[in-house]
Amino acid sequence: MNALFSVIIPAHNEEKYIGKCLKAIKAAAKESRDSVEIVVVANRCTDRTADIARRFGAVVTENHDKCISSIRNSGVRASHGRIIVTIDADSIMARSTFAEIKHFLFSGKYIGGGAVPKFDRMSLGIAVSSAYVALNLIPMMIKSGGPLSGTMFWCRRRDFDRIGGFDESLVSLEDMDFARRLRALGKTCGKKYGTLRKSRIVTSSRKFDEFGDWYLLKDRRLTKAIFTGRDRKAADKFYYDVR
């Protein structure tokens, strides 16, 4: 498939969410009139995730690792598009997403970037927890040269390959590490790390639904362990063995 975009979606038992994610991708592709390939990486799925993905015309590949970096990288290897976009299965992109990514990349000023997330519901606990997470990320952002947006990453395939994709030695915080290295690559060629201005991402609040809106503050030991990026026990509890 000679696609301009390849959208990579890691998915572990996502039958509740992935249909909305795929529907939004299709709408954004129609809006931009670009060829978009969707690759869903079914990770240890025991539900209807893969079947739903195929009904939407997605390529489905399997990966059994408990490592989100490995899952995303395997999806990129199975794809063919010139521009890589990564998004989680419980997130919904805006209709303007592909058009805005093209605007950024084709300007020649940007190496790639991320997007701003918005939870599908909000509460005081979620707001305070989000601020707490941002506070913990400040040292990494200062070290990298400024704020780093995440949630949905986008860059040219050649640049994804140049930085080696996602770091598979990390079991968490791989997203901010990827953003940091992408920004560093941009600096070597006079390009900036961008954040989509119009195309926000709506992401589910399911972690808060599962653990409570204040869980990040109530269990700060777990939160700090996750922020090391290398604590397997914490990552399994928080990400890989939740459902």
Tell me the per-residue pLDDT of 104-129, one tens digit each, with 9 for 90 and over.
Answer: 999 999 999 999 999 999 999 999 99
Helices (H), the chain: 18-32, 49-55, 68-77, 97-106, 124-144, 157-162, 174-188, 206-211, 215-218, 220-226, 232-235
Q: What is the mean pLDDT of residues 99-107?
A: 97
How far, CA to CA in Å, does 78 sit from each of 62, 81, 118, 165, 170?
A: 10, 10, 29, 13, 21
pLDDT of residue 150: 79
| Owning domain of residue 205 | 5-240
pLDDT confidence tier of residue 219, bands split at 50, 70 and 90: confident
Residue located via tokens 């709408």: 27
pLDDT of residue 200: 95
pLDDT at 215 over 80: yes
Distance, in Å, from the CA atom of 119 to the CA atom of 178, rounded to the nearest integer, reads 22
Instruction: Specify the DSSP class assigned to residue 122.
Output: -
Number of domains present in the structure of the chain: 1
pLDDT confidence tier of residue 84, bands split at 50, 70 and 90: very high
CA 25 to chain centre: 14
**CATH number, domain containing residue 116:** 3.90.550.10
pLDDT of residue 151: 87
pLDDT of residue 233: 82
* pLDDT tens per residue across span 134-153: 887 777 677 767 668 878 99
Determine if the pTM surpasses 0.85.
yes
pLDDT averaged over every residue in the chain: 92
Percentage of the residues of the chain whose pLDDT score is greater than 90: 76
Classify burial at 57, counting beta carbons within 10 Å of its beta carbon; exposed 0-12, middle 13-18, buried 19 or more.
exposed
Residues 11 and 43 sit within 8 Å (Cβ to Cβ): yes
